């Protein structure tokens, strides 16, 4: 199982579209015929609820908290995975709100997600991990387990500092764990036609000249898909952003070595 490609969707800045991008990129990968596991690593559980899994968020132990913090519960991860029409989901849970100090005290506390994913019996082509809006043990776990990151960011000047801080943390992890965390690209999100957005898109292109920069515009359809518990690919409504999400999935497929399954 451990050979599934993995990507962390991360930016410690809140509300930039991590969950929206994660769900829709997962939906696009599914459209391209890949078996997708979606991991909601955010204690807020937005993706879990957004995918219609409120009951799992409120469920009693064992939950993802236990699989991450207790070696003996690691295998329980297999009983936690639930199916969704587009993907399988490893849901977050209310207990995850107290996982950070537990991981700080745990042995190899930043490698727990990797160990949990290795304990999964089902084969997946790709695992998409939605990260919380802060740097800490969970985000470190996601970056280390995935080794790849896709970064959503708003086309606003405050994104510059946020990205600087994220890259600093990636460098710290790389040095500490003698590994490489590959930046697969930046998703400029909720883009509107303003001068600031235009200036920031130019900045993204210049600052990230060696990786792709995609542009997802502000669209209520994306919010409607979230409310309907699915990606835009399952929504019975046209959305002009599907092309861009498919382009992201294409590029991830290429960079992660996924073989496209033609229907
Ligand atoms: N392209 C978009 N167009 C319109 N609305 C969007 C877009 N992207 C995100 N949103 C909305 O913005 C809000 C924040 O998005 P989202 O929850 O995906 O961000 P996040 O980075 O995951 O947040 P958090 O940091 O809290 O985890 C949500 O209400 C979402 O529906
Ligand atoms: Mg989120």
For the chain, count helices (H), then strands (E).
12, 8
DSSP symbol at 117: H
pLDDT band at 13 (very low <50, low <70, confident <90, very high): very high
Ligand 1 pocket member 22 (CB < 6 A): no
Strands 36-40, 126-130: pairing kind: parallel
Q: Please report the atom of ligand 1 found closest to the CA of residue 241.
A: 1
**SS3 for 37?**
strand
Residue 3 predicted with pLDDT over 90? no
> Going by CA atoms, what residue is nearest to atom 8 of ligand 1?
17
Q: DSSP per residue over 5-22, as a string? A: EEEEE--SSTTSSHHHHH
CA of 152 to the centre of ligand 1 (A): 10
Average pLDDT for residues 154-159, to the nearest whole number?
95
Q: What is the percentage of the chain residues whose pLDDT exceeds 70?
A: 98
pLDDT tens digits, 180-211 = 999 999 999 999 999 999 999 999 999 999 99
CA of 17 to the centre of ligand 1 (A): 4
Among 15, 23, 131, the mutation site with the greatest number of ligand 1 atoms within 8 A of its Cβ is 15
Residue 262 is predicted with a pLDDT of 60
Residue 259 is predicted with a pLDDT of 78
Residue listed under structure tokens 């992890």: 173
Residue 90 is predicted with a pLDDT of 98
Average pLDDT for residues 115-136, to the nearest whole number?
98
Residue 136 predicted with pLDDT over 80? yes
Residue 212 is predicted with a pLDDT of 97
146's CB contacts (< 8 A; 6+ apart) are: 6, 7, 8, 127, 129, 181
Distances (CA, A) of 90 to 53, 117, 147, 252: 10, 10, 19, 21
Residue 196 is predicted with a pLDDT of 93
CA of 262 to the centre of ligand 2 (A): 31
Rounded to the nearest integer, the mean pLDDT of the chain is 96
Residue 260 is predicted with a pLDDT of 67
Average pLDDT for residues 223-236, to the nearest whole number?
95
Residue 263 is predicted with a pLDDT of 52
CATH of domain 5-256: 3.40.50.300
Residue 132 is predicted with a pLDDT of 98
Residue 177 is predicted with a pLDDT of 98
Rounded Cα gap, residues 64 and 56, in angstroms: 10
Q: Please report the atom of ligand 1 found closest to the CA of residue 152.
A: 21
Residue 261 predicted with pLDDT over 90? no
Strand order in the sheet with 213-217: 82-83, 88-90, 36-40, 126-130, 5-9, 148-154, 182-191, 213-217
CA of 260 to the centre of ligand 2 (A): 28
pLDDT tens digits, 23-65 = 999 999 999 999 999 999 999 999 999 999 999 999 999 999 9
Rounded Cα gap, residues 227 and 222, in angstroms: 9
Rounded Cα gap, residues 215 and 186, in angstroms: 9
Average pLDDT for residues 135-164, to the nearest whole number?
97
Residue 106 is predicted with a pLDDT of 97
Ligand 1 pocket member 17 (CB < 6 A): yes
């Amino acid at each position: 199982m451990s050979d599934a490609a993995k990507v962390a969707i991360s930016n410690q800045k809140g509300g930039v579209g991590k969950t929206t991008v994660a769900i829709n990129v997962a939906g696009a990968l599914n459209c391209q015929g890949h078996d997708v596991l979606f991991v909601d690593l955010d204690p807020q559980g937005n993706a879990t609820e957004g995918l219609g899994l409120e009951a799992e968020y409120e469920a009693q132990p064992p939950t993802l908290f236990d699989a991450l913090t207790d070696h003996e519960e690691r295998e329980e991860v297999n009983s936690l995975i639930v199916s969704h029409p587009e993907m399988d989901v490893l849901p977050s849970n209310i207990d995850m709100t107290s996982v950070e100090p537990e991981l700080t005290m745990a042995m190899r506390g930043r490698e727990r997600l990797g160990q949990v994913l290795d304990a999964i019996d089902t084969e997946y082509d790709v695992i998409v991990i939605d990260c919380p809006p802060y740097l800490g043990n969970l985000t470190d776990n996601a970056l280390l387990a995935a080794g790849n990151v896709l970064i959503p960011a708003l086309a606003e000047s405050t994104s510059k500092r946020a990205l600087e801080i994220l890259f600093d943390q990636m460098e710290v992890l790389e040095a500490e764990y003698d590994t490489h965390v590959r930046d697969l690209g930046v998703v400029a999100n909720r883009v509107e036609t303003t001068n600031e957005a235009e200036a920031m898109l130019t900045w993204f292109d210049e600052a990230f000249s060696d990786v792709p920069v995609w542009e997802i515009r502000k669209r209520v359809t994306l919010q409607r898909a979230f409310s309907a518990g699915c990606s835009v690919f399952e929504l019975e409504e046209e959305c002009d952003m599907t092309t861009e999400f498919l382009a992201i999935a294409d590029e991830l497929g290429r960079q992660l070595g996924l073989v496209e399954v033609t229907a």
